[in-house]
Amino acid sequence: MKGLRQVVATRYVEPLRTGGSVPGIVEADDLGTYVVKFTGSAQGRKALVAEIIVGELARRLGLRFPELVLVDFDPSVAADEPHQEVQDLLRASAGVNLGMDFLPGAADFTPDAVDVTSLEAGKIVWLDALTANVDRTVHSSNLMIWPTFGIKTPRLWLIDHGAALVFHHRWGASPPDKTYDFRHHALGAYAPDTASADAELAPLVTEPTLREIAALVPDAWLTDEPGFTSPDEVRDAYVTHLLSRARSSASWLPTGFPSRDELAAADARRAAATEKGRPAWLKRVPDLHGKPPAEQDWSRHVG
């Protein structure tokens, strides 16, 4: 069985500050460019484990997900990085880290920017429900739009699964048939056909497939796990939980997604309630994001 490809970082291009883990764009000795998540980040190695297990499972279920590689990173390649907090992160991440193939020209997912069928939406929701990935929401989709080679129409690509597998933060606390709230899933407005997705995907989540995926995780990221004596025991726990969860899909299958109008109305009610609870002095603060400074009426705030 092949493992993840291994590359060596040759140049640190820049940090990405859109997430708390501060991943970085890195060039490697295979002439590829990768978005690298570092072992020294606040999210820790479990976020990298989740990236591998969920991302590789998505690929085996036929969903589009960028290639993952293991990146041997020497902090000296980022000697010119000016920010001290980034330097601290990189120095704490010497050794093997996780890279995701950089998608040049990709754009963040926005509603109506790409055609998404009910079945495709259902498959992505199903994967997220299986892997307890509650971080793909209307407010943070963790989806990208990028053209597939040879196809002019942009396609949907999955990214960023570090917050998935929430059960591995407290082993045994979440039963395999636990349900999660996916009413605010990023693709909920596309009428996800989770029933058809379940019929198609559940049989593909087999023990051999899960063991193959779990074997891709480096031993070093599975050591010192409380309650386990070896990396292979931890791998067994992932396989057992996800296999049991796939077999009990009828109990957690998400349904009942609100429409876009219903979501917009809920957001409006939430905003109105927030505004009502704000103190009077805060309500008088001008909205600098809504109008250019020249258009702001500052007269009533002077004196």
Would you say residue 36 lies in a domain?
A: yes
Gap between the Cα atoms of 51 and 131, Å rounded: 11
DSSP label at residue 41:
S
Give the dihedral sign, CA 45/47/48/50. positive
Would you say residue 301 lies in a domain?
A: no
In this prediction, residue 270 carries a pLDDT of 73
Would you say residue 286 lies in a domain?
A: no
Residue 125's alpha-carbon distances to 200, 203, 220, in angstroms, are 13, 16, 31
Count of domains observed in the chain? 1
Closest CA to 103 of 57, 56, 64: 64
In this prediction, residue 204 carries a pLDDT of 98
In this prediction, residue 292 carries a pLDDT of 41
Give the dihedral sign, CA 38/40/46/49. positive
In this prediction, residue 15 carries a pLDDT of 95
35 contacts 10 by C-beta, under 8 angstroms? no
In this prediction, residue 299 carries a pLDDT of 31
DSSP label at residue 166:
G
In this prediction, residue 266 carries a pLDDT of 72
In this prediction, residue 230 carries a pLDDT of 97
Would you say residue 274 lies in a domain?
A: no
Gap between the Cα atoms of 38 and 161, Å rounded: 14
Would you say residue 147 lies in a domain?
A: yes
Residue 223's domain comprises: 5-252
> Which amino acid is present at 54?
V
Gap between the Cα atoms of 59 and 284, Å rounded: 50
Would you say residue 99 lies in a domain?
A: yes
Would you say residue 261 lies in a domain?
A: no
Would you say residue 273 lies in a domain?
A: no
- Residue whose structure tokens are 């072992």: 39
Which residue ranges in the chain fall short of pLDDT 50?
A: 287-303
1: its two tokens:
């069985």
Gap between the Cα atoms of 90 and 93, Å rounded: 5
